[in-house]
Chain A
Amino acid sequence: MKSPLPADGEKIGHFVSAAPFDPLSIETLNTEQKDYYLASQKRLMWWKFKLHKVAVGCAIFLGIMYVSVLFSEFLAPYNLNNRHIRHIYQPPQSVHLFHEGEFIGPFVYDTTYGLDMETLKREYPEDRSHIYKLKFFCEGDSYQFWGLFEANRHLFCVDKPGTVFLLGTDRLGRDMLSRIIYGTRISLTIGLIGVAISFVLGLVIGGLAGYYGGWVDLVVQRIIEVLQSIPSIPLWLAIAAIIPVNWSPVLVYFAISIVLALLDWTGLARAVRSKLLSLREEDYVLAAELQGASPQRIIGRHLIPGFMSHLIASATLTIPNMILGETALSFLGLGLRPPVTSWGVLLNEAQNINVVVIYPWLIIPVIPVVLVILAFNFMGDGLRDAADPYS
């Protein structure tokens, strides 16, 4: 019979394919498969992460944010504490390209100061007679770059006496954009220090609970439950209140990260514990045990590599909590205090609803908070999906 398929409803004949039998064909791999099967775990994770386009975009965004932390002085048009007493509560200036129908390139108009005598509101109408072109890599306020040398180059600025306040100014006439750029430095790094501490705490405490089980597990579980049941803001307030007022801003900064970390390890400890419990049931752990491996070896060689990637992914998801915690504490005036500048400290200015109604640009530091937290969450999701490349 020529075909394996007999005619409709006919009796079946005997079909034997002419194809030879190659016993190894099912085991031989083509080059792409070989590539895939020979890849290490890290490479597989990278391939899987790359598929998650949003996560990759967020990772790039966060990368840019963190790199910017190194160059805050250069990126900000003005210095952190440079006051412009003639420009108090000035609203954001807009960048124009065309002046009277003619293309000029990016420039801002001059502003004049006036007081609305009815509302007593400061007003800064544009004075269209003067234009100030934006200049790039220009000289402006001088600063100590990385504490190493004096510099005065900025990414952009305008000639004096013109001003460029793209996000407006605050109560003391300081440029909001510059302050947000400087605030990024503190707000983004406080999360990392906090997460590093809570990572260690979570790993050790969760690991002990998961590996020893029994009463250790019981005690740890109850402590976690108690910690998680306390309303977080009052607890922060209580602990933050302990920090002596006369400490230097840097010390306060570390103290705040430790406070946040001390309360944040619980989620991670739970993740470690449950992962350990489930991995302990795997055959390969029993196999190592039956070879005579010691507990340290089993944990170090067989268990931890199995869930490290998960841990990193879940740690990424806790960084936003840290950032939010710092923002909340500083907003309430109990976290960082001026002259240290973080996004939370900036938002402290926007506590008064009257101020926010009249000078709405003071609330702008919320935008970077939201963006960074969303980015961390999306990236964490992508990492978590990639963490188990074999599924």
Chain B
Amino acid sequence: MTTDLASEPILQREHVPVAGRDLLRVENLSIAIKTHKFELNVVKNASFRVPAGKTVALVGESGSGKSIIAQAIMGILPGAARITSGSILFRDPAMDQLEFDHAAERPDGIYMQSMRGSRISMIFQEPMTSLSPIHKVGDQIEEALTLHHKVSRKEARQTTIEMLGRVGFPDPARAYDMYSMELSGGLRQRAMIAMALICRPALLIADEPTTALDVTVQAQVLGLLKRAQQFLNMSMLLITHDLGVVANMADEVVVIYHGNILESGDVRTIFKEPGHPYTRALMAAVPDLATPCDERLKALREVDHVVPDMLYARERPKGDGPLLSVSHVSKTYKVRESSWLSSSSKPFLALDDVSLKVRRGECLGIVGESGCGKSTLSKLIMRALTADNGDITFHGAKGDIDVMTAKGEALKTYRRCAQFVFQDPFGSLTPRATILNLLMEPLEIHGIGTAQSRRKMAGDLVRMVGLDETVLNRYPHSFSGGQRQRISIARSLALAPELLICDEPVSALDVSVQAQILNLLNALRREIGLTMLFISHNLAVVRYIADRIAVMRKGRIVEIADRDSLFANPIHPYTQALLNAVPNTDPDSPLDFSVPDMEIQDVEMLWEEKYRCWSMPSPDTRLREVSDRHWVLSNA
């Protein structure tokens, strides 16, 4: 970042904010959403400010009203929502001493149109859908510029390429002509940031900017935002539920719950001496890398659970060998590449010679970034996919089952022994079935009990996950995400399985609900001796729940060890990078943003030679035991 941008004509116009004046002041704002049955007050009398050049974090759970406040500032409220009172005062430094009230301006008026995307811009959570797939990345970014400024084509292109370089594209001139599907998630988010910054906005609203990104990419994007802010002298309104991100980015914090602002203050004050019980509960609920693993998390909403007798009484496998052994499993996907002349398929290796054993009663955690093959592995174990080669054997109470070839009765028996909890609690429950039907279904399929005993069992199951029996007649759409995930867990335990596979069970949930689900899973595991395979991208969560952890990268297990050994002494450079990228909730120990911020194509080149198993494959590549039960993938 050595280029002197001051020589650029567009980016030259610098507007120094007036001292002693906040850039944005939201005063007593109330917003109501009207559905056809009722009107809900989603924001109640909210007041906060964004000072010039500073970052303010708006922290809250989903449904707290934080995103709707951002929409109100941008003038893009959905049709059903309206501002019932209050004002949103924006003092654009480019407009001298003027002040505009965005709550009173017409959302489609000239003022708001010229303001949106130019003086205030916004970046969204989902980089995959925010860019148009049919236009070049450069053209989309340039459009934001040409909409608001009179510039020549050449000048516009120049500025766009400049901006692409600034947000970390290694070859900006080439990136200009690429399409969004050619970019990774991290690069797409960078392109979005470039689009938001191209007009040098006075205020950037970042709505969960890194929630959909992997931890290592998240750290880079956060570093980028921080540098861009200093360089452009802009203010930032950061909307997030991730306290680690807040601690690393914000100057001031505003805590919002159910439309009410409960606490606000300097970031240090909020994290060191949180005043409101909600803020304190929120902070205590989120596990981080220092949370003691044998204590219950302090969930915001505790769940009492009663484990039904039949789960205690279920058959348990004898002996002490592994419950599940996976050996040398590989899986390739065919990626169709078709042009209008020919179509060819090139294989994509999703899993490459993976072996692991799950011991009876343990919880094995699998961590890795998106695309590392962890979900593929779980689907193979569940026989939702078939592996190309290798063996998966389940050593259950009813004898060994060869998972890859099981058919008919054997497969049905296996389904009874191994169950699955999905990531998305909204998609995994049939919307047209009542909770009673959903919970009785596994019992009906496997012909367990009579209609009466199944009904009783369904009642026991909902009580087990802390819900009341009255919920049995309701439909899934009437529950919150956390409640649905509890129902999913209840359903997966209906058959009293020996193995439970949880694929990112808390990633789609609010941080405040995570603790509740983790506590529940942990308690159930202890009480009924469940064996669990827990897949997650969140290191803190895996560390809290798993006894043993396997780290995966690009289809391979790079390191597998007992939890304490792995976190105390991570050996593989990839594991180390993952651990270093986790943002800490302590504002005094910030992330190291000085790491190279380019999306480095080949990060392996920074590693010691024996760990470069992808760029320099060797026949000797295998897991090697470096200390007691601590295995690391290396070439030598």
Residues of A in contact with B (beta carbons under 8 Å apart): 1, 3-6, 8-9, 12-17, 19-21, 23-27, 30, 32-33, 35-38, 40-41, 47-48, 51, 282-284, 286-294, 297, 301-302, 305-306, 390
Let me know if A9 and B441 touch, CB within 8 A: no
Residue on B nearest A287 in the bound complex, by CB: B428
The CA of A41 and the CA of B437, in the complex, are separated in Å by 15
Residue of B19, B254, B433, B480 with most chain A CB atoms under a 10 A cut-off: B433
Let me know if B428 and A284 touch, CB within 8 A: yes
B347 close to chain A: CB less than 8 A: no
Residue on B nearest A16 in the bound complex, by CB: B275
**Could you tell me the dominant secondary structure of chain B's interface residues?**
mixed
B232 close to chain A: CB less than 8 A: no
Given A37-B474, A283-B422, A390-B477, decide whether A15 and B427 contact each other with a Cβ distance below 8 A: no
B35 close to chain A: CB less than 8 A: yes
Min CB distance B211 to A, Å, is 20
Let me know if B422 and A287 touch, CB within 8 A: yes
Let me know if A27 and B22 touch, CB within 8 A: no
Residue on B nearest A292 in the bound complex, by CB: B415
Please name the 10 residue pairs, one residue from A and one from B, whose CB atoms are nearest each other, closest first.
Answer: A37-B478, A16-B275, A292-B415, A283-B427, A9-B20, A32-B38, A5-B47, A14-B265, A21-B278, A283-B428
Let me know if B19 and A290 touch, CB within 8 A: no
Q: Can you spell out 17 A-B residue pairs with CB atoms less than 8 angstroms apart?
A: A4-B254, A6-B49, A8-B22, A9-B21, A14-B263, A14-B266, A16-B263, A16-B276, A20-B277, A21-B257, A23-B281, A30-B38, A37-B478, A41-B475, A288-B430, A291-B415, A292-B416
Residue on A nearest B263 in the bound complex, by CB: A16
Residue on B nearest A4 in the bound complex, by CB: B264
Cβ contacts under 8 Å, B35 to chain A: 36
Min CB distance B49 to A, Å, is 6
Residue on B nearest A284 in the bound complex, by CB: B430
Let me know if A290 and B430 touch, CB within 8 A: no
Cβ contacts under 8 Å, B488 to chain A: 287
Chain B positions 122 through 162: 1 when the CB is less than 8 Å from some CB of chain A, otherwise 0: 00000000000000000000000000000000000000000
Let me know if B263 and A21 touch, CB within 8 A: no
Min CB distance B65 to A, Å, is 11
Let me know if A297 and B445 touch, CB within 8 A: yes
Let me know if B445 and A5 touch, CB within 8 A: no
The CA of A24 and the CA of B263, in the complex, are separated in Å by 19
Min CB distance A312 to B, Å, is 14
B446 close to chain A: CB less than 8 A: yes
Min CB distance A334 to B, Å, is 44
Chain B positions 426 through 464: 1 when the CB is less than 8 Å from some CB of chain A, otherwise 0: 011111110001000110011000000000000000000
Min CB distance A368 to B, Å, is 34
Let me know if A12 and B265 touch, CB within 8 A: yes
Given A15-B264, A19-B260, A297-B445, decide whether A286 and B384 contact each other with a Cβ distance below 8 A: yes
Min CB distance A44 to B, Å, is 8
Let me know if B276 and A9 touch, CB within 8 A: no
The CA of A3 and the CA of B49, in the complex, are separated in Å by 11
B233-284 residues with Cβ-Cβ distance < 8 A to A are 252, 254, 257-258, 260-266, 269-270, 273, 275-278, 281
Residue of A23, A48, A297 with most chain B CB atoms under a 10 A cut-off: A23
Cβ contacts under 8 Å, A20 to chain B: 277
Cβ contacts under 8 Å, B64 to chain A: 26
The CA of A381 and the CA of B242, in the complex, are separated in Å by 43
Cβ contacts under 8 Å, A12 to chain B: 49, 51, 252, 264-266
CB-based A-B contact count at 8 angstroms: 159
Given A5-B48, A305-B432, decide whether A38 and B262 contact each other with a Cβ distance below 8 A: no
Given A24-B301, A287-B422, A292-B416, decide whether A3 and B266 contact each other with a Cβ distance below 8 A: no
Number of residues of chain B lying within 8 A (CB) of chain A: 72
The CA of A4 and the CA of B257, in the complex, are separated in Å by 14
Given A16-B276, A292-B416, decide whether A302 and B430 contact each other with a Cβ distance below 8 A: yes
Residue on A nearest B17 in the bound complex, by CB: A9
The CA of A371 and the CA of B36, in the complex, are separated in Å by 30
Chain B positions 187 through 213: 1 when the CB is less than 8 Å from some CB of chain A, otherwise 0: 000000000000000000000000000
Min CB distance A26 to B, Å, is 5
Chain B positions 290 through 308: 1 when the CB is less than 8 Å from some CB of chain A, otherwise 0: 0000000000110000000
Q: Which of A21, A40, A47, A293 contacts B36 (CB 8 A)?
A: A47
Let me know if A9 and B38 touch, CB within 8 A: no
The CA of A283 and the CA of B263, in the complex, are separated in Å by 39
B336 close to chain A: CB less than 8 A: no
The CA of A388 and the CA of B27, in the complex, are separated in Å by 39
B69 close to chain A: CB less than 8 A: no
Let me know if B412 and A292 touch, CB within 8 A: yes
Let me know if A5 and B25 touch, CB within 8 A: yes
Cβ contacts under 8 Å, B483 to chain A: 27
B382 close to chain A: CB less than 8 A: yes
Min CB distance A39 to B, Å, is 8
Residue on B nearest A303 in the bound complex, by CB: B430
Min CB distance B559 to A, Å, is 29
Residue on A nearest B471 in the bound complex, by CB: A38
Let me know if A14 and B269 touch, CB within 8 A: yes
Residue of A6, A25, A41, A306 with most chain B CB atoms under a 10 A cut-off: A6
B547 close to chain A: CB less than 8 A: no
Let me know if B412 and A17 touch, CB within 8 A: no
B37 close to chain A: CB less than 8 A: yes
B375-405 residues with Cβ-Cβ distance < 8 A to A are 382, 384
Residue on A nearest B27 in the bound complex, by CB: A5
Min CB distance B277 to A, Å, is 4
Residue on B nearest A30 in the bound complex, by CB: B38
Min CB distance B627 to A, Å, is 37
Cβ contacts under 8 Å, A26 to chain B: 61, 63-64, 257-258, 480
B539 close to chain A: CB less than 8 A: no
Given A21-B281, A36-B38, decide whether A9 and B51 contact each other with a Cβ distance below 8 A: yes
B574 close to chain A: CB less than 8 A: no
Min CB distance A24 to B, Å, is 7
Cβ contacts under 8 Å, B422 to chain A: 283, 286-287
Q: Which of B21, B27, B275, B427 contacts A284 (CB 8 A)?
A: B427
Min CB distance B66 to A, Å, is 13
The CA of A290 and the CA of B254, in the complex, are separated in Å by 44
Let me know if B265 and A15 touch, CB within 8 A: yes
B419 close to chain A: CB less than 8 A: yes
B411 close to chain A: CB less than 8 A: yes
Min CB distance A228 to B, Å, is 24
Residue on A nearest B273 in the bound complex, by CB: A14
Given A4-B48, A12-B264, decide whether A306 and B431 contact each other with a Cβ distance below 8 A: yes
Residue on B nearest A29 in the bound complex, by CB: B478
Chain B positions 475 through 500: 1 when the CB is less than 8 Å from some CB of chain A, otherwise 0: 10110100100001001000100000
Min CB distance A387 to B, Å, is 12
Min CB distance A303 to B, Å, is 9
Cβ contacts under 8 Å, B20 to chain A: 8-9
Given A19-B262, A23-B281, A25-B258, decide whether A51 and B36 contact each other with a Cβ distance below 8 A: yes
Residue of A5, A33, A302 with most chain B CB atoms under a 10 A cut-off: A5
B404-430 residues with Cβ-Cβ distance < 8 A to A are 411-412, 415-416, 419-420, 422, 424, 427-430
Given A40-B475, A292-B445, decide whether A17 and B276 contact each other with a Cβ distance below 8 A: yes
Let me know if B300 and A23 touch, CB within 8 A: yes
Min CB distance B238 to A, Å, is 15
The CA of A25 and the CA of B278, in the complex, are separated in Å by 12
Min CB distance A55 to B, Å, is 15
The CA of A35 and the CA of B37, in the complex, are separated in Å by 9
Q: Which of A8, A14, A36 contacts B275 (CB 8 A)?
A: A14
Cβ contacts under 8 Å, B433 to chain A: 301-302, 305
Residue on A nearest B262 in the bound complex, by CB: A17
The CA of A246 and the CA of B260, in the complex, are separated in Å by 80
Cβ contacts under 8 Å, A24 to chain B: 301
Cβ contacts under 8 Å, A23 to chain B: 281, 300-301
The CA of A290 and the CA of B385, in the complex, are separated in Å by 11
Cβ contacts under 8 Å, B22 to chain A: 8-9
The CA of A5 and the CA of B27, in the complex, are separated in Å by 8
Q: Which of B25, B26, B416 contacts A8 (CB 8 A)?
A: B25
